[in-house]
Structure 1
Amino acid sequence: MTKTAWVFPGQGSQTVGMEENLLDHPLARMRFAQAEEILNWSVLELCQGDEERLSQTQYTQPCLYVVETVLAELLLKQDNPPVLVAGHSLGEYVALYTAGVFDFETGLKLVKSRAELMSTAAGGKMVAMMQFNREELETQIAAIPDVVIANDNSPQQVVISGTPTGVDALIAQVKARRKVDLKVSGAFHSPLMQSAAAEFAEILADVTFNDARIPVLANIDPTPAIKAAEIKSRLVQQMTGAVRWREIGDYLAQSGITKVVEIGPGKVLTGLLKRTSANLEVKNVSRIDEFSY
């Protein structure tokens, strides 16, 4: 019997035109209209505009949330739900929506606030590193102040985050085949986001969560959760905590899951899983005509 998990990508997967295949569907049109009322700007215009503006955090995150939730909602109508869900950073909000933890409007308002707080964070730096010695990396992180692993994506791919001084010192000490500066304003998923996280925690405190209908693997704790209080507690920690995607992939591979479907633009998450979990069948769904997975 096939046991399927759905995973949802985060910031960095956005592409101009990612909404195009959805425009003829009534549900999608309704969601785009709802989103415009909540955001006071048009997701459709952003997705049909220029890549530079779409890549700005305050726009990227709501646009991805809307496109991915529409795809997930349409897939759920096929009566073939997953047994687990997870999302990478912003994608975790889509996973929670899919699991019934909150409705579309509530989720989008949270994402809007999160994106605005993150976009105004300053004074940090993030660098992606590929093909390195992990023991050497972890040793240097322990020795250098104000730098952490923000995204632990796979054994050989991480994103480090921290003060510019700390990040520069680390990348000077650790050899890697490739190092890429990320175009972000702050040190996301690090303790330097504490001020923004505290503001966001106050917003979250006033939002009612439901128990999940589908277990959710969280970025900061890659074990299944259903209870609303536990899910909210994990989400409060997400802005300053690491995205432990490597461990999420390990859990999927070891828990009896046989197929993983990445829902949203791009193939980042399935690409990671292909390299680390050969026993998993992986599939991407970014368009309505790809629904028969």
Structure 2
Amino acid sequence: MTKNVWIFPGQGSQAVGMGLDLAEVGKDKFAKAEQILGWSILEKAQTDAAELSKTQFTQPSLYVISTILADVLKSKGAKPDAVTGHSLGEYSALYAAGVFDFATGLELVKQRSLLMSEASGGAMTALIGFDRSQLEAAIAQTENVILANDNSADQVVISGTETAVKSIVEQVKTKRAIPLAVSGAFHSPLMADAAAKFAQVLEQTIFNDAEIHVISNVEPNDATTAGQVLRDRLTQQMTSPVRWREICLYLAEQGYERAIEVGSGKVLTGLVKRTAPSLALVNVSTLEQVIAI
């Protein structure tokens, strides 16, 4: 048996038109989502890219689409040996692992997305092609900036105050530096206020023990099924780095043979390929791709 991991995308993987082919197979979840959110995922998916990219719309949309695709995969008899997700994608992973039901997960994602969309006073910039030791040294010597998304050896996102982020970009030679259109400094200590509010929401939510191992963003080398541990790690996630490169290394070290990206886009399989080229890669972002598996 091939050792599989399902990986779930986060913010940045959204695309206009995503999920429209799931309207019939996912009608119950789309209807439930509209009750919870007060707006339609399918209608929002047909707006322009700028509207869809707003945090309060992107995160719930990606979660709903990923969970529908995961359900269809399971209905075909597919089952992962472990799950993981990139930032917001960790919520889809927890749903797939049976840690909470669809509605509970969406309520969490709704609150998370609103808190993050209201954040201000920070900036994020993606860096591509750089000397890692130089970058790490510059960050260590600069206050109020953090390596927020460690995506691969040559692709990261830094997060912090506008002044600090600008200072790193000026200090470190890169092939490309791309400012991200976000409201705040996600995955950094500057999100502490939002994280404290969200921690209260998490504390009131029951997390079941997972049916399969979950690899968390904040502890990539310690897969677990313990519900309480997984909840604690989500509490840390909003202010802590997404250690995706380390997750990819862990998958290779643990003998995983295939990664299936469940959700919109191909961002994560591209990152896995860079860090763990031994893994076979599959994208499941449409109903047609699910049927093809």
TM-score, normalised with respect to structure 2: 0.98
Distance 1:276 1:102 in 2: 30
Report the counterpart of residue 70 of structure 2 in structure 1.
72
State the 4+ residue runs in structure 1 displaced beyond 6 angstroms: none
Distance 1:183 1:290 in 2: 30
Distance 1:146 1:118 in 2: 18
Report the counterpart of residue 39 of structure 1 in structure 2.
37
Q: Map of 1:57-68 to 2, 5 A cutoff?
A: 57-68=55-66
Q: CA deviation at 1:24?
A: 2.7
Residues 216-245 of structure 1 show CA distances to partners (whole Å, capped at 9, x for unaligned) of 000000121101110000000000000000
Distance 2:78 2:270 in 1: 23
Residues 82-120 of structure 1 show CA distances to partners (whole Å, capped at 9, x for unaligned) of 001000000000000000000000000000000000000
Report the counterpart of residue 153 of structure 1 in structure 2.
151
How many pairs are equivalent?
291
For residue 196 of structure 2, the aligned residue among 195, 198, 204 is 198
TM-score, normalised with respect to structure 1: 0.98
Distance 1:2 1:21 in 2: 29
Distance 1:61 1:204 in 2: 17
Runs of at least 5 residues in structure 2 that lack an aligned partner in the other structure: none
Report the counterpart of residue 226 of structure 1 in structure 2.
225
The one-letter code matched in structure 1 to 2:64 is V
Distance 2:207 2:266 in 1: 30
Q: Give the secondary-structure state (helix, strand or coil) at the position aligned to 1:225.
A: coil
Residues 164-200 of structure 1 show CA distances to partners (whole Å, capped at 9, x for unaligned) of 0100111100000010000001000000000000000
Distance 1:213 1:109 in 2: 21
Q: Give the secondary-structure state (helix, strand or coil) at the position aligned to 1:179.
A: strand
Q: Is 2:48 the partner of 1:84?
A: no
Report the counterpart of residue 286 of structure 1 in structure 2.
285
Distance 1:189 1:280 in 2: 27
Q: Map of 1:1-293 to 2, 5 A cutoff?
A: 1-25=1-25, 28-222=26-220, 223-291=222-290, 292-293=292-293
The one-letter code matched in structure 1 to 2:225 is I
Q: CA deviation at 1:133?
A: 0.2
Q: Tell whether the 8 Å contact from 2:23 to 2:30 is kept in structure 1 after alignment.
A: no
Distance 2:275 2:248 in 1: 8
Q: Give the secondary-structure state (helix, strand or coil) at the position aligned to 1:100.
A: coil
Worse-superposed segment, 47-56 or 87-96 = 47-56
What percent of counterpart residues are identical? 54
Residues 193-214 of structure 1 show CA distances to partners (whole Å, capped at 9, x for unaligned) of 0000000000100000000001
Q: Give the secondary-structure state (helix, strand or coil) at the position aligned to 2:18.
A: coil
Distance 2:122 2:235 in 1: 20
Q: CA deviation at 1:278?
A: 1.6
Runs of at least 5 residues in structure 1 that lack an aligned partner in the other structure: none
Residues 146-173 of structure 1 show CA distances to partners (whole Å, capped at 9, x for unaligned) of 0000000001110000000100111100
Q: CA deviation at 1:79?
A: 1.8
